[in-house]
Structure 1
Amino acid sequence: MALTLSVAALAAVLACALLRPRLQAIVAGLAAALVIVAGATTWRAAVGEISELAPVVAFLAAVLVLARLCDDEGLFRAAGTLMARATSGGQSRLLTTVFAISAAVTAILSLDATVILLTPVVLATARALAVPARPHAYATAHLANSASLLLPVSNLTNLLAFSAAGLSFLHFAAAMTLPWIAAIVVEFLLLRWLFAKDLATEPQRAVSVEPLDVPKFTLAVVVLTLAGFAVTSLLGFSPAWAALAGALVLGVRALADRRTTMSRIVVSLDIPFLIFVLCLGVVVDAVMRNGLESAMQQVIPDGHGLLALLGIAAVAALLSNVVNNLPAVLVLLPLVAGSGPAAVLAVLIGVNIGPNLTYVGSLANLLWRSVVRRDVKAGFGEFSRIGVVTTPLVLVAAVLGLWTYVRLIGL
């Protein structure tokens, strides 16, 4: 009975997140209260789960604010100028530039920045050139997921895995560099092949290229914040302090220059989503306590060999497309944490790359669809067809990168 109730509560939360995201915090809160009142979990366990997730959520909040302030300071506008300049080499060069910028933005400022802030810039560039937007739009969609492997700050799933793996910031980044590069290269080759016809279209009109105005102060703060992530981690402090420092510096400057307002900064925190994450953790914990943990233990492979890592990543990818990648990582991390960092990072590869298979895989996919609706008719069928071609190969390439690192250097 407790398992049925917990699963029903989780299903309701996910359905709301996918179909009515504005209500997701309310529904998640009600679902968390229900599993506690019904005895599927306890107040003590719920408080413990929230306490464990709180530092991760605080880190996420600081990064969200940092990304929005970078947009206010003109960083993404400069990225648009770089893309426009790349069109002199045709669409293939434009796609290369979109890939490079998307990978960097995703890794440093998180996948949300790529979907919400960069994708509209990419679409505007394609619109100005009168070229098909599909190749470049799908590049941002896929890289928002697959290019989020590199740093703990790149994705909420990374923050959770970072805590479970017990690695330093630099060690995490080193271990994920090969998987990150492999995923991006294979993704690029496959999307270039799939959209060869669209990419053959020459720009129908020249776009007026404005002078490149890189906000040097903002870029310097971002670089120093990245360095701060590494330093705080080495000193035993949460990297959230470095993210908070970067957000404070940019926030004070933007407020002083009237480039933003306090209300805009508060909105960028996305407090409803942060509440959703905390309450979702309580509901997933209830499901785990009432039978899912023992069931999943029968499915997850053991070991650190290539086949075991591939199996772990595959299970994580499939589970992401059944229940979404955030619940999937919350379910799987406690099961593999005892097997060591390699297993944790294999789960991360699965839950980050796997969502490119279907819209259900991540909330970022649905957010991307709403962003591109005006320019690209990206239906469920087309998204999944492209995902079927790309996702398995990108997943295997990334796991091979992780396995190579483990064999050569170790974890």
Structure 2
Amino acid sequence: MPIAIIGAVLLVVSASAVAFGILPVQDVLAIADRVWPIMLFVVAITIVAELAAAAGVFDVASAFLARVARRRVLLLWLLIVGLAVVSTAFLSLDTTAVLFTPVVVAVARAHRLDPLPFAFTTVWLANTASLVLPVSNLTNLLAVESLDVGVGSFVALMGPSALVAIVVSVAILWIVFHRRLRGRFAPAADPVIGDRLLSWIAGAVVVVLLPLLVSGVPPWMPALGAAVLLILVFAWRFPRALRPALVPWQLLVFVSGLFLAVGAVEAIGGRTVLASLSGSGDHLFALWRLAGIGMLGANGVNNLPAYLALEGVADSPARLGALLVGVNAGPLITPWASLATVLWHSRLTAVGVTVAWKRFMLLGLVAAPLAVAASVVPIAFR
């Protein structure tokens, strides 16, 4: 079912809750006041990523990595790992899943390599590397707003856990695919860029944007500025690329409905039930418990509703960090655990790469618990 339809249903349910007095109007206004900067950032960064991809920025970057790898498959894969981490950290997990995935598949095919290890790399790192920065994941932005902290404090809390999650996922990927990552690859022609000036401008905008996203100013501000600048440049050089589909309408409807629906559930006592399940305390086993519930909720329903439902019982920085580990690094098992995974699979299908969900889930059953359990440890002993 398209996420827009799910979001529309949630909006109708939420409107009914407001009409019957279950969800007070002042709570709706409070939710809107909290989420508008986050939603504005999501729209702006999506437009930036889409236009950068249309200008060939990701193609140029991947071709550069292939040259740097000097025909060594393992080195190319490690460079793709690095670029996937950077893409996820600064441009969000959905960018990596949607825009970077077809690029790495094209690079693998151009050099006559099996695309499967590269495809798994993008989706796993889209999730595990989304712990790096506040802008990496919508859940992080919500957590930062809840904690009322800056980028530095968030990185101090989540940085070690992000590193552990990335290392664990990369190590498992290497164990699984190491036979396909041996040897050397054949050289391939550079990608064809239709408008080099447009590509250079878009690349420069992205390069300037990345440090601004961690400069301490509200992320929506530099993202919106970059989006407006790219829209103006594209209106000059390639106006056909400017279309309504650049705005993630389905995601906006889905997330809006989700926020209101979770607010309604909390209004009828849902938080009390979750509090009894998640326990309390900041010691290791308590944090493992909360992260585990977050991981189960993400794989059972989806990571965003899992976070929203459990945020109220994560009543300390350590517990909120553990929850983020569960809902960010944990959605590696079921196809619907994160929107990034759903989008990743649809992009692979569009470019003719088949990934069996059975294999995806079996590998995730190994990777997700290990990544989550290991990543909680730095939070407990920080």
- Matched ranges for 1:2-401 at <5 A: 19-85=1-67, 88-200=70-182, 203=185, 205-209=186-190, 217-233=201-217, 238-258=218-238, 261-263=241-243, 266-336=244-314, 339-373=315-349, 374-401=351-378
**Alpha-carbon distance in 2 for matches of 1:322, 1:385:** 15
Farther-moved stretch of structure 1 (291-300 vs 367-376): 367-376
Whether the 8 Å contact between 1:54 and 1:278 is mirrored in structure 2 is no
**Alpha-carbon distance in 2 for matches of 1:160, 1:239:** 12
Whether the 8 Å contact between 2:334 and 2:361 is mirrored in structure 1 is yes
**Alpha-carbon distance in 1 for matches of 2:378, 2:116:** 29
**Alpha-carbon distance in 1 for matches of 2:110, 2:71:** 16
**Alpha-carbon distance in 1 for matches of 2:367, 2:303:** 18
Aligned residues: 378
Residue 281 of structure 2 aligns to a residue in which SS?
coil
Whether the 8 Å contact between 2:132 and 2:159 is mirrored in structure 1 is yes
Farther-moved stretch of structure 1 (287-296 vs 89-98): 89-98
Whether the 8 Å contact between 1:225 and 1:245 is mirrored in structure 2 is no
Deviations 1:34-76 (A, max 9, x none): 3333443233323332332222111211211221222233221
**Alpha-carbon distance in 2 for matches of 1:372, 1:97:** 21
Report the CA distance between 1:77 and its aligned residue. Answer: 1.4
Farther-moved stretch of structure 1 (186-195 vs 29-38): 29-38
Whether the 8 Å contact between 1:123 and 1:375 is mirrored in structure 2 is no
Whether the 8 Å contact between 1:91 and 1:200 is mirrored in structure 2 is yes
**Alpha-carbon distance in 2 for matches of 1:231, 1:108:** 12
Whether the 8 Å contact between 1:149 and 1:179 is mirrored in structure 2 is yes
Whether the 8 Å contact between 1:129 and 1:206 is mirrored in structure 2 is yes
Report the CA distance between 1:274 and its aligned residue. Answer: 1.1
Report the CA distance between 1:102 and its aligned residue. Answer: 0.5
Q: Which TM-score applies when normalising by structure 2?
A: 0.90
Whether the 8 Å contact between 2:298 and 2:338 is mirrored in structure 1 is yes
RMSD of aligned Cα (Å): 2.4
**Alpha-carbon distance in 2 for matches of 1:39, 1:221:** 47
Q: Which TM-score applies when normalising by structure 1?
A: 0.84
Structure 1, gaps ≥5 residues long: 1-18
Whether the 8 Å contact between 1:316 and 1:329 is mirrored in structure 2 is yes
Taking only the aligned residue pairs, the percentage that are identical comes to: 31
Report the CA distance between 1:366 and its aligned residue. Answer: 1.1
**Alpha-carbon distance in 2 for matches of 1:134, 1:398:** 26
Report the CA distance between 1:109 and its aligned residue. Answer: 0.6
Whether the 8 Å contact between 1:329 and 1:348 is mirrored in structure 2 is yes
User: 1:129 is matched by which residue type in structure 2?
Assistant: H
Report the CA distance between 1:230 and its aligned residue. Answer: 4.1
Whether the 8 Å contact between 1:131 and 1:202 is mirrored in structure 2 is no
Farther-moved stretch of structure 1 (307-316 vs 327-336): 307-316
- Decide whether aligned partners of structure 1 residues 54 and 184 sit closer, same or farther in structure 2, where only a CA change above 3 A counts: same
Deviations 1:301-321 (A, max 9, x none): 322222222222111111111
**Alpha-carbon distance in 1 for matches of 2:92, 2:274:** 29
User: 2:74 is matched by which residue type in structure 1?
Assistant: S
Deviations 1:234-282 (A, max 9, x none): xxxx33112212222232223222366542xx42221232122112111
- Decide whether aligned partners of structure 1 residues 259 and 120 sit closer, same or farther in structure 2, where only a CA change above 3 A counts: farther
**Alpha-carbon distance in 2 for matches of 1:345, 1:260:** 43
**Alpha-carbon distance in 2 for matches of 1:365, 1:85:** 29
Deviations 1:377-406 (A, max 9, x none): 2222111111012112211232223334xx
Structure 2, gaps ≥5 residues long: none
Whether the 8 Å contact between 2:133 and 2:154 is mirrored in structure 1 is yes
- Decide whether aligned partners of structure 1 residues 219 and 176 sit closer, same or farther in structure 2, where only a CA change above 3 A counts: farther
State the partner residue of 1:5.
none
Report the CA distance between 1:22 and its aligned residue. Answer: 4.7
**Alpha-carbon distance in 2 for matches of 1:314, 1:100:** 27
